[in-house]
């Protein structure tokens, strides 16, 4: 897709090319504290431009795929996973995103549940990174991740998005950990518990978390319909 041999005149004659990229968030334990933190998978570039730097998974749009199908394929090929949530984020089309050719990237963002994320493929050129410790990425991908994080934090405030980062059953402490990981802050457990218990879409299951504890915490379930998020109409 990127050619270094083309001269300026050739590049300006070619139409802007179209790429699909995907920002994939999942909760994984912090290496230091073991607490859930926000991670995303990146792919090492093996070609110029930005050879050796890490970049968002993606590639050119093929003829036989819709935008969303191309995003799903990126995600599957990079991580071996299917997302619990996939939505178009934004089309990035600044003039100087790539030094070699005008590229317009239509970016999707995805959320993956932690049990799935734990199974994700890693290799020399595909690795998960903490969202707050990415270093310098290829192209404008730091700015894209920054925007995706902003969208995630924003949606957390008014939707059901947190439950896409959890399994089907969860404790109230696990919901709080999602909010703490995404907002990068600590929340008061008692206040948070009271607020979440007041949410009509959160239902007690009658089950308890299995484990060695003396008094195991109760498991809850999200009964809302994610399609009812204000900014998440099914098919535009």
Which chain residues interact with its own copies by CB under 8 A? 12, 15-18, 60-61, 63-67, 88, 90-95, 102, 104, 106, 143-144, 147, 150, 154, 157-158, 230-231, 233, 236
Q: Do 168 and 223 meet the contact criterion of CB atoms below 8 Å apart?
A: no
Burial of 196 (0-12, 13-18, 19+ CB in 10 A): middle
Of the pair 15, 212, the CB lying nearest its own copies is at 15
Q: Give 211 or 236: the residue with its C-beta nearer to its own copies.
A: 236
d(CA 214, CA 175): 21
The CA distance from 148 to 156, in Å, is 12
In the complex, minimum distance from the CB of residue 14 to its own copies, in angstroms, rounded to a whole number: 9
Q: Which is nearer to its own copies, 12 or 115 (CB)?
A: 12
For the bound state, the minimum distance from the C-beta of residue 87 to its own copies, rounded and expressed in Å, comes to 10
Contact 57, 74 (CB under 8 A): yes
Compute the least distance from the CB of residue 13 to its own copies, in Å: 9
Structure tokens at 50: 């930005």
CB of 11 to its own copies, least distance (A): 9
Q: How far is CA 144 from the centre of its chain?
A: 11
Indicate the residue among 24 and 103 with the shorter CB distance to its own copies: 103
């Amino acid at each position: 897709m990127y050619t270094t041999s083309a001269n300026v005149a050739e590049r300006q004659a070619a139409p802007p090319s179209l790429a699909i990229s995907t920002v994939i968030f999942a909760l994984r334990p912090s290496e230091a504290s073991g607490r859930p933190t926000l991670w995303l998978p990146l792919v090492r570039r093996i070609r110029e431009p930005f050879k050796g730097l890490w970049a968002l998974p993606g590639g050119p749009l093929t003829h036989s795929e819709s935008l969303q199908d191309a995003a799903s394929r990126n995600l599957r090929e990079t991580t071996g996973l299917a997302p619990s949530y996939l939505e178009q984020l934004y089309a990035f089309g600044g003039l100087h995103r790539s030094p070699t050719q005008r590229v317009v990237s239509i970016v999707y963002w995805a959320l993956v549940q932690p049990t799935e994320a734990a199974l994700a493929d890693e290799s020399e050129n595909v690795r998960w990174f903490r969202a707050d410790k990415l270093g310098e990425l290829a192209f404008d991908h730091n700015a894209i991740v920054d925007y995706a994080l902003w969208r995630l934090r924003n949606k957390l405030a008014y939707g059901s998005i947190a439950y896409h980062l959890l399994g089907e059953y969860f404790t109230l402490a696990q919901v709080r950990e999602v909010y703490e990981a995404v907002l990068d802050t600590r929340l008061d457990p008692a206040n948070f518990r009271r607020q979440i218990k007041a949410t009509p879409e959160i239902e007690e299951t009658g089950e308890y978390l299995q484990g060695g504890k003396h008094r195991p915490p109760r498991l809850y379930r999200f009964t809302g319909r994610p399609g009812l998020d204000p900014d998440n109409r099914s098919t535009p």
